A = this chain, B = another copy of it.
Amino acid sequence: MTDDSETLQTPTNAPATVEEFRERLAAITEDLPKRLRKCADHIAANTDRIAVSTVAELAAGADVPPSALMRFCQIMGFSGFSEMQKLFREAYAPGWPDYSTRLKNLKANRTGSPAALLAEFVEAGRLSLEALAKSVDEQVLDRAVATLSRADTIHVVGLRRAFPVASYLAYVFEKMAVPAMLHDGVGKLDHRFALRPGDAVLAITFAPYSEETLTLAADAHARGLPVIGLTDTLTSPLARLADAVVTVPEVDFGAFRSLSATIALAISLAVAVGSARE
């Protein structure tokens, strides 16, 4: 019954709530031309910035001309950007539950609830990252990068809980066109003979140290290949075998580590090696 003779031009239903907005966005996104698709994605990833941005800013963020973003608003059912923004400005109720407040809320759930667990892991991850930033030994890091940069092929090995790190390293190396091989233990094939003179090993293991990882590192060491270790303490068995040992202090929660610090360290290493090789 919208008899507004004024706004007759838009019988189309613009989303009235943020929920509706999201649904609509998800619904139309897939069959959208290239430019509009970029808008949709950027908007989806930055919904919370709509309230405080201008067309130009958002457009720049999405890397499209402003007019494209304008069209996007209209496709979403609004008369224009301003109308869309109005929705979000009104919904901008919650002030800003800053991080620590929000964390408390999450933890306030019954213990063992997903949200409470998440709060703990987030906290553990953050502490680990902070500890890492403080404790890292730059010289060891530099040496590790130098060694790996000189290697022909980098052999990455890490099993069990270190495997995610190893596989991410392999991914990053591949993306940066650094010759690397992931020793994944598939089929119990150990590929030990893939180690060639000129190569280097990057071994990752935490207590309880994985037998296979140590074996490969020892093997390489015995044959005079440089070994870089990524481990938890300097007393790790890797320390004796490795030419450079980078330690990472990871905070546990329950039986599991967040791996945040380890992965941050691993990517840094990989990216540094990647740039150094160019």
Contact = CB atoms under 8 A, between A and B. Distances in A.
A99 B133 contact: yes
A164 B160 contact: no
Contacts of A168: 161, 163-164, 259
Q: How large is the interface on A (under 10, 10 to 19, 20 to 34, 35 or more residues)?
A: 35 or more
How many of these chains are in the complex? Answer: 2
Nearest to A249: B45
Contacts of A264: 118, 121-122, 124-125, 258, 260
A272 interface: yes
Interface stretch (A2-10, A134-142, A194-202, A217-225): A134-142
Contact of A114 (B175, B259, B268): B268
A115 B99 contact: no
A235 B21 CA distance: 12
Interface string A239-278: 1100000000100011110111101110111011001100
A64 interface: no
A164 to B, nearest CB: 4
Given A117-B272, A272-B114, A275-B110, A26 B240 contact: yes
Nearest to A272: B114
A141 B167 contact: no
Contacts of A165: 164
A102 interface: yes
A137 to B, nearest CB: 9
5 contacts: A115-B142, A118-B136, A122-B130, A163-B167, A163-B171
Interface of A: 22, 25-26, 29-30, 40-41, 44-45, 48-49, 51-53, 89, 91-93, 95-97, 99, 102-103, 106, 109-110, 112-115, 117-122, 124-126, 129-130, 132-136, 138, 141-142, 144-145, 160-161, 163-165, 167-168, 171-172, 175, 186, 207, 232-235, 237, 239-240, 249, 253-256, 258-261, 263-265, 267-269, 271-272, 275-276
Question: What 4 A-B pairs are tightest by C-beta distance, nearest first?
Answer: A164-B164, A118-B268, A260-B260, A44-B233
